[in-house]
Amino acid sequence: MKIKRMAFIGSLIVLFAVCFAIMNEHYDELARYPYVTSENREVILKHLNNEDINYMIAQQLKPEQFLPFIETKGFQIRNTLWYNRAKEMQDARNEVIVAFINDYRKKLDYASLETLLQAYSYDTLRIFFSEDNDYIKNASIITNPAAALALIDENETLFTYQPNDLVAVDKIATVPLHENKKNTIYLRKETIQPLHDLCDAISAVNNKTCGNLILTSGYLSYEDQIPMYESMMLKYGKDKFQEYWDYPGQSEYQLGTMVRFQPAGKEVSHIDEFGLENEKAEQKENDEQEEPKETQEQKLAKWLSENAYKYGFVVRYPQGKEDVSGKAYQPFTLRYVGLEHAKALYENHQVLEEYTLKTK
């Protein structure tokens, strides 16, 4: 009896094993995947293991999302949405996109990937994430530098960002602070016409072209900021330098929407890179000069403070806001933010640091 029972159990085990083998032979890993076709089945099974297939099914990834990348070296099914988003924002060879996302996904934010790839190339971001550079050490990269209200915190950097719509300023007298610019100043395209309109309007103050103001600074590249920073730090020290300018990669001039004017009659052709010598000379001159010249500059400064907003500009570092802006009073330094924001800033007597907190 005992022998018969054991034989029966043994036969059941054999039968189960045979049935399992038959079922396993006919098991279809893609039976639960609604998008499988005779054309894509072989490719999917060739490149994805069971774990990958389960993820693909659970996330309901469509073939058109991952098949373009599936044969690319290093392809990971879990990065499918990232690959697609990156390619949509900045087209490149699939090998470049897959390698970039695989290497730096942990340092990226999916929500800001769109704006990030609109501002920086894959090569630039790869250098930023991998380069050991004192100017970018422990800093995060600004994800949307093209935003009208973009601000750079002390732990952020623009790195080598350059606006893709820079245009040379014409019809306005210019003497660039940076000697390599060869009398050419660049700004973002949207800033040019409003700047011309502002210059035409300010002429009413003294009946002189652009109010007798000379444009001395516009877009300033990251590469140009470094030697200027090093030179001025040695000459003036950190505290004095930071009253007027910024650490490389943190200057708003790099945004392409900041302008700096200089009243004509100064030694603009011999101005140092940052204009700090000129600031010192101007203060001394104001202390020694009689009323007329100082009054004209005051009129121009007053006009800008009261009217620049009508053209989409704000005085970036106004008097009385030094503690908020972190910079000394600079009446002829303007930033273009657009008509709506400029009007709101003017009416609320705010600087960008206050206004951006309110609009977040």
pLDDT, tens only, 125-147: 999 999 888 899 889 999 999 99
Q: Is residue 5 included in any domain, yes or no?
A: no
Side-chain-side CA neighbours of residue 66 (13 Å)? 26
β-partners of residue 333 are 260
Q: Is residue 57 included in any domain, yes or no?
A: no
pLDDT, tens only, 161-205: 999 999 999 999 998 877 655 678 999 999 999 999 999 999 999
The number of distinct structural domains making up the chain is: 1
Which contacts of 349-355 are long-range, i.e. CB under 8 A and separated by 24 or more positions? 351/314, 351/316, 351/317, 351/318, 351/321, 351/324, 351/325, 352/149, 352/151, 352/314, 352/316, 352/325, 353/151, 353/324, 353/325, 353/326, 354/324, 355/149
What pTM was computed for the model?
A: 0.83
Q: Is residue 21 included in any domain, yes or no?
A: no
Q: Which domain holds residue 316?
A: 166-359
**CATH number, domain containing residue 232:** 3.30.1380.10
pLDDT confidence bin for 356, thresholds 50/70/90? confident
Mean pLDDT of all residues in 9-36: 60
Q: Is residue 34 included in any domain, yes or no?
A: no
Q: Can you give the pLDDT at residue 2?
A: 58
CA distance 230 to 226: 6
Q: Can you give the pLDDT at residue 335?
A: 98
Separation of CA 174 from chain center: 27
Q: Can you give the pLDDT at residue 28?
A: 81
Q: Is residue 307 included in any domain, yes or no?
A: yes
Q: Is residue 218 included in any domain, yes or no?
A: yes
Q: Is residue 284 included in any domain, yes or no?
A: yes
Q: Can you give the pLDDT at residue 152?
A: 95
Mean pLDDT of all residues in 209-217: 95
Q: Can you give the pLDDT at residue 235?
A: 86
Q: Is residue 124 included in any domain, yes or no?
A: no
